[in-house]
Structures are given as C-alpha cells and as structure tokens.
Amino acid sequence: MKKYLRVIYGIYLRLFSSLLLFVLILVEILPMGRRISTLFFERVWGRFHKVQTEKGPIYFCTPDWLSKFRANSFYEKEPETIKFIETFNAESVFWDVGANIGIYSIYASKLKNTRVYSFEPSLLNVELLFRNIQINDLGKKITIFPIALSNKTSVLDFFMSKNDLRWAGAHNSIGSNTSYTGGKMTDFITSSQVTCRGEDLVKIFNLPIPTHIKIDVDGLEGDVIEGLQTMLKEIKFILIEVDESNKTLNDRVKNMMERENFLRISEVGQVQYVGNQLWKNQVLKD
C-alpha cells in the first residue's frame, strides 16, 4: 500500500511542478513578465527560518523543503553536534568539514564567538552557506573554503548523488564514488574539483591549527583525518560522523585515532555519542 502511495505522490509532485512551470512561462510572455518572475524568485530566496538561541536569534535561508527541514530540525537532528559546540569558548578555532549550508558553523560563531572555517565542496550548498553567513552578519568571522579536505592535495573527480542534487543536499564523494555506507554510488554526476590535505592548507594560507573539528563527509572521514597528519597532536577534540554499518570505516577511524592518543568519549552533558563519534586528545588539556 505504501509503495502505491509513494508512486501516486510522485506523480502528483511532477504534475504540480509542471503546472507551476507552465504558469511561469505564461507570466513571462506578458508585458513586464520577466520582471514579475524575477521578483517571484527573489521572494523565494528571501524566505528564511529563525532559530532562537541563548545569544539571540540566528537565521537560515530556506528556498526549498530540504533547507527548511535542516533549519526546522536545528536542535533535534544532531543534538550531539549542538552539545559539542556548546563546549567551545572564544579562544576555540573550529573547522567545520562538510559544512553543508552552515547550520553548525553559524551556531559556533554566534554562540561562542569562535573563529570558524567552513569547508564545503558542493557549490549548491556554498551558495546557501554564503547567504546564511551574510544574513547573520558573520562575514568577518566565518571563512568559507569551497573545497574538499582529503588525504591528497590535487584536482579529483567530485561525485554528487542525483537523488541529493539540490540545495542542502548531501551524499557526495571526492576521489571515488563511495557512499557513506561503504558501498558504491550508482546514480551520480561528476565534476573536477580541488581537494587539499588539512596540513597543506595550514601551510599555504598560514591558518591557525583548529582546536575543534567536526568531520561529516559521507564515508571519507578517514581520508580527512589522514590529511591532518602532524596537526592531530595539537587538536583537542574531533567529532566524526561514521555510519555504524560501515565496519571498514569504523575500524580505520578507530585505529588512526587511538594511534594518535585520542580517546573516544561516549557522553557529554547526558547526550550520547554513537553515530557521531567524539574523540579527545589525551595529551592536551581541555
């Protein structure tokens, strides 16, 4: 029954979207039609969602359903990441690797006045990331790097899942068409994009070494960690999203982190860390 309902719903969406497109075409035929359609799209881009925090409201541009979902589920989707950010202070330096549309970059900057570096290779997401930073007046506090972090400094194929080829989409991969579960992506497009080792990036741009990192790159978290290399001994905490079903990635992350004297933390402030793994440098003080 559910299968048939999904089919019917899919047909409804296609028909309704085709009707809207037809209306738009008719509008553009009219005098001043293109100006009207331009104003319409400006209104779409002018939609935003407000999230209240203890340091005041933050805003997210929400032109489509997925960006709206990410803003609506701000506190519920990943409470571990929220709690992780709440442990920062003004001296923290945060690398948000796989920043998407900037949900956590903006929260860290707004809540803790933290210096933030946002890494996001999807140019669809970078557009919204930029807009969100601007509407929150954080342009001088958050630096955007529209590249992928990995274990190579090179130009590689960037794979984007067609099912998520939209604003606020995810499930992308650099260098191989690997999915977040460890399998292969089957329906994707590719482009050539820059990737960089974190260690090289620090040297090239004379960046401060981060005290805190969040890594969410859909199955390539191990490559990002490998690219940090000698930086690891100076990083206090690393939050890594790893799909629990991906045993190969779990084992790789565990071996690398323990080899670098990191200890996995299971709970912070009564929030359990499972899919999001929190690792603490045992050598450095908090």
- Identify which has the larger pLDDT, 164 or 146: 146
Let me know if 141 is exposed, middle or buried by CB neighbors in 10 A (0-12, 13-18, 19+): middle
Q: State whether 101 and 234 are in the same domain.
A: yes
Beta bridge partners of 214: 96, 239
Q: State whether 224 and 142 are in the same domain.
A: yes
**CA-closest candidate to residue 221, choices 156, 173, 280:** 173
Domain that holds residue 207: 64-150+196-281
Q: State whether 36 and 75 are in the same domain.
A: no
Q: State whether 31 and 117 are in the same domain.
A: no
Among 100-114, 119-133, 172-186, the least confident range: 172-186
Q: State whether 21 and 112 are in the same domain.
A: no
Residue 11 within a domain: yes
pLDDT of residue 286: 67
* Domains identified in the chain, total number: 2
CA atoms of 20 and 69, how far apart (whole Å): 22
Task: Residue 86: give its domain's CATH number.
Answer: 3.40.50.150
How many H helices and E strands in the chain?
A: 9, 15
> Two tokens at 168?
């606020």
Q: State whether 26 and 144 are in the same domain.
A: no
pLDDT in tens, 49-84: 999 998 899 999 999 889 999 999 999 999 999 999
Residue 210 within a domain: yes
pLDDT of residue 51: 94
Residue 19 within a domain: yes
What number is the average pLDDT over the span 236-250? 90
DSSP 188-227: EEEEEEEEEEHHHHHHHHTPPPPSEEEE--TT-HHHHHHH
pLDDT of residue 243: 84
Residue 54 within a domain: no
Whole-model pTM: value is: 0.88
pLDDT of residue 185: 78
Residues 118 and 146 sit within 8 Å (Cβ to Cβ): no
Alpha helices (H) in the chain, listed in sequence order: 2-29, 33-45, 65-72, 79-85, 103-112, 123-135, 198-205, 221-228, 247-259
The CA-to-CA distance between both ends of the chain, in Å, stands at 53
Residue 59 within a domain: no
Residue 101 within a domain: yes
SS3 category, 281: strand
Beta bridge partners of 56: 53
Q: State whether 34 and 128 are in the same domain.
A: no
Residue type, 99: A
Phi-psi region of 148 (alpha: psi -120 to 50; beta: other; left: phi over 0): beta
Q: State whether 96 and 13 are in the same domain.
A: no
Average pLDDT, the chain: 88
Q: State whether 141 and 240 are in the same domain.
A: yes
Q: State whether 201 and 90 are in the same domain.
A: yes
Among 39-53, 128-142, 155-169, 250-264, the least confident range: 39-53
CA atoms of 199 and 204, how far apart (whole Å): 9
H or E element at residue 143 = strand 142-145
CA atoms of 204 and 4, how far apart (whole Å): 55
Q: State whether 14 and 74 are in the same domain.
A: no
Q: State whether 80 and 142 are in the same domain.
A: yes
Residue 233 within a domain: yes
Of the pLDDT bands very low, low, confident and very high (cuts 50, 70, 90), residue 7 is: low
Residue 167 within a domain: no
- Looking up tokens 């099912």, which residue turns up? 163
Is the pLDDT assigned to residue 2 strictly greater than 70? no
pLDDT in tens, 10-49: 676 677 677 767 666 776 787 777 777 777 667 777 788 9
